Chains A and B, each alone.
Chain A
Amino acid sequence: MPIDAQRHIGVVSEPRVVHVERGFLKFFAKATGETDPIYFDEAAARAAGHPDIPMPPTYVFSLQLSAPAKAGDVFDPVGGLGVDMARVLHGEESFTYHHPIYAGDRLELVTITTDIYDKKGGALQFIVQETRCTNGDATVCVEARQVTVVRNG
């Protein structure tokens, strides 16, 4: 069933608090075949001038997934869009960086559904969501934008 765009555009999620866990960053480095030790070894990170292991460029997407919003989540059938997992594709992803993030940081995420549009007479729908990630000082660290494609055909 197509998504009711008018119902979901403009929905703002509740703020979700997430912690950047060192163990998960190490696991992510292993899973992506990372060989640069600053991404999995605290000593190497400190030797390179970092306070701890840096969060890699795409990991904010994983933080989002680790804390699904009650309002506006793509899959959630109650407070979100209720999209069938079998019908999704990732269309686009963007990141804009303002401030570095390290293991041990506590962050807050807020996601807004900014647009929903369709192509091919509704056979494909595109959900645009923007997430703002702030740290404990209320400094914006990263902004992420994603486009999820839903195959209705």
Chain B
Amino acid sequence: MGEVAVGQALPEHVCGPIDRTTLALFAGASHDHVKLHIDSDFAKAAGMDDVFAHGMLVMAYLGQLLTRWRAQSNLRRWSVRFVAITPLHATIHCRGQVVEILEEGGERVARVKLGAWTDKGVQTVDGEALVALA
């Protein structure tokens, strides 16, 4: 692992496109059976255009962005806000950037700004992670 510096970008992680099969598999694998994500009839009756992606699917993709950069054992904490719905057929671009390097709990930690964007450039998730650099 090379030296980490403020401003460094994590390698972009591109996922998808998200199709109906992706959502069906994720519903089963994640135990999230909310019908808005898997049943078009239900989603339309609820006023949505169609089914849309589980927020936690995109957060899982962001987790992969982090664990590809540093082993999961270095991940101390992270939080995200789901700022827009992730529509069906979107390809997801996960990006991160080191914004601060600090000492916490006796170790060097990078504060990483995270986000997920659709291929149309709409940000759907915004977040931040603390990753140990040891």
Contact = CB atoms under 8 A, between A and B. Distances in A.
Contacts of B42: 86
Given A86-B36, A93-B55, A97-B76, A27 B63 contact: no
B46 A27 contact: no
A27 B31 contact: no
Interface string B1-36: 000000000000001000000100110111111111
Contacts of A91: 81-82
B32 A62 contact: yes
Provide the main secondary structure of the chain A interface: mixed
A28 B63 contact: no
A32 B68 CA distance: 14
Contacts, number: 103
Contact of A36 (B46, B54, B67, B85): B67
Contact of A87 (B15, B32, B46, B76): B46
Contact of B30 (A61, A89, A92, A96): A61
Contacts of A97: 75-77
Give chain A's interface residue range (CB within 8 Å of chain B): 20 to 34
Given A30-B25, A86-B45, A36 B79 contact: no
Provide the main secondary structure of the chain B interface: helix
A34 B76 CA distance: 21
Contacts of A27: 25, 28-29
B35 to A, nearest CB: 6
A143 to B, nearest CB: 8
B60 A36 contact: no
Given A33-B15, A86-B42, A89-B82, A28 B29 contact: yes
Contact of A30 (B29, B55, B56): B29
- Identify the interface centre among B25, B56, B60: most chain A CB within 10 Å of its CB: B60
Contacts of A85: 34-36
A57 B75 CA distance: 8
Contacts of B30: 28, 31, 59, 61-62, 65
A92 B128 CA distance: 12
Interface of B: 15, 22, 25-26, 28-36, 42, 45-46, 54-57, 59-61, 63-64, 66-68, 72-73, 75-82, 85
